[in-house]
Amino acid sequence: MDAKSTIQAGKAILGIEFGSTRIKAVLIDEENNPIAQGSHTWENQLVDGLWTYSIGAIWFGLQDCYANLRKNVLEKYDIEIEKLASIGISAMMHGYMPFNEKGEILVPFRTWRNTNTGKAAAKLSELFVYNIPLRWSISHLYEAILDNEEHVKDITFLTTLAGYIHWQLTGQKVLGIGDASGMIPVDPNTKTYDATMVEKFDKLIEPYGFGWKLLDILPKSIVAGENAGFLTPNGAQLLDISGHLNPGIPLCPPEGDAGTGMVATNAVKQRTGNVSAGTSSFSMIVLEKELSKPYEKIDMVTTPDGSLVAMVHCNNCTSDINAWVNIFKEYQELLGVPVNMGEIYTKLFNKALEGAPDCGGLMSYNYVSGEPVTGLADGRPLFVRSANEKFNLANFMRAHLYGAIGVLKLGNDILLKEEQVKVDRITGHGGYFTTKGVGQRMLAAALNSPISVMETAGEGGAWGIALLASYVVNNDKKLNLADWLDEKVFAGNAGVEVAPTPEEVAGFNAYIENYKACLPIEEAAVVSKKSE
């Protein structure tokens, strides 16, 4: 069946993912191939010291993204989207969206980027004997309690961004287990929230006298492949303001961007891993067994089907690179030279390959926001060099590419060196890998491991959640998720692999030692920024 016939027959599948800077929609056919797409660009706002997106921005973004997809379908196939086989919603993991009994949000959405939850995260980590990151929903909730925020007593539902949108589209208060594991830890055996930790939390907050217990307000955790409800008439109107889309479409469990990244890179099987590198970056390694002890730099989450995953999450990745590239764009415009942003990125990234393996001593800190892995609650991007370093364009660009994954290396050194975690395949995806072979080679040097990049990696998380939506309706053989991806989606395609040279590994190791030695400079800059 060709793409037009697939859409007309209602066999196409829709995936929508809310990223940090872009909302993307991908329409796929029954063979899981992308056949149309749409997008919407947006930015978070710093309001009262907290990073947020307004409810209005969320819905305008979703509707504009879908309208852009609808326009793409009209232009390519001259038809309207009226029926779909299934839909999946994904978004940035974690964060804090509390609602009252009327369904009204009680405080502005607090995103993963906020680092104001230090007291709560430390207390909960100690209580649970488990690393609880700053950005997890339980950290935000307990911090609000510690800060005596008035709204907490009125909470009747607490969810993530993906869970919120799914709820509004279907009426179902559910969450995919991968995203749920970023609210409070889940038990891989029961596939739901860890009962011991839930009990400990309820006992901890009992003196406050709230009218709820934790399980009263959390969404139900469900695994990939389960039906998570159907698009309601109101949900159809929310999604497609043109009125063409019919209700009744099944939805898969809503997931976080970490889970969709694992799916999009075929990294849900044990001893596989992936690195997602865009506005933020994170690595996901699917474990064969639990780690020997908790680590502050390692978050424990799950795959969309419930396997244990060690996650290194970094708040910053490509934003500072983008800012520098825009400087080169302005210079080009100043000279009156026509600007092609794709060409600028390609040329600058490839120039980095000519740089010294240790960047000639140049150093970049890409901290647009705080970076919990290195213990900084706030950020200030810095480029650092001494007078006698070799300051040229190649070293400059290489230093920024290294800096974008420097924190990621610090976390993964714990897994690969201290815990001796075994990984058969690591796959990269995201904007950092867009220029062929460049970011891939840098990451290979950082992790001292071969890195694969697939042609489909550019489709990203929207494709990943579309695949999870497909898994709900196109799994006739009742395969588990890993086998279904192997057989039905990737069919043996492991992508193009790049292995680092010994010189590149040694160079990155020299860079990271310098990086660690110079961290007090970044710390001083952050302190100075706070005193302004």
| Inter-residue contact 323 to 306 (CB < 8 Å) | no
CB atoms within 10 A of CB 77: 18
Which pLDDT value is given to residue 532? 54
pLDDT by 10s per residue, the chain, length 532 = 899 999 999 999 999 999 988 999 999 999 999 999 999 999 999 999 999 999 999 999 999 999 999 999 999 999 999 999 999 999 998 899 999 999 999 999 999 889 899 999 999 999 999 999 999 999 999 999 999 999 999 999 999 999 999 999 999 999 999 999 999 999 989 999 999 999 999 999 999 999 999 999 999 999 999 999 999 999 999 999 999 999 999 999 999 988 998 999 899 999 999 998 888 888 999 999 999 999 988 999 999 999 999 999 898 999 999 999 999 999 999 999 999 999 999 999 999 999 999 999 999 999 998 898 898 888 899 999 998 889 999 999 999 999 999 999 999 999 999 999 999 889 998 889 989 999 999 999 999 999 999 876 556 789 999 999 999 999 988 999 999 999 999 987 778 899 999 999 999 999 999 999 999 999 999 988 665 5
| Inter-residue contact 252 to 17 (CB < 8 Å) | no
Alpha helices in 9-54 (DSSP H): none
Which pLDDT value is given to residue 457? 53
Which pLDDT value is given to residue 456? 62
Output the CA–CA distances (angstroms, integers) from residue 172 to 175, 222, 245, in the order listed. 9, 12, 19
Please spell the DSSP secondary structure of 222-237, one letter per residue: E-TTS---B--HHHHH
Calpha distance 194→176 (Å, rounded): 15
Query: What are φ and ψ of residue 25, in 5° steps?
Result: -115, 135
Output the CA–CA distances (angstroms, integers) from residue 529 to 113, 317, 354, 356, in the order listed. 18, 21, 35, 32
Q: To which residue do tokens 């086989």 refer?
A: 85
Which pLDDT value is given to residue 441? 96
User: Domain extents for the chain?
Assistant: 267-453+501-532
DSSP state of 417: I
Which pLDDT value is given to residue 275? 92
Among residues 447, 429, 451, the alpha carbon closest in space to that of 505 is found at 447
State in words which class domain 267-453+501-532 has: alpha beta
Residue 172 CB contacts under 8 Å (≥ 6 apart), including other chains: 166, 228, 229, 251
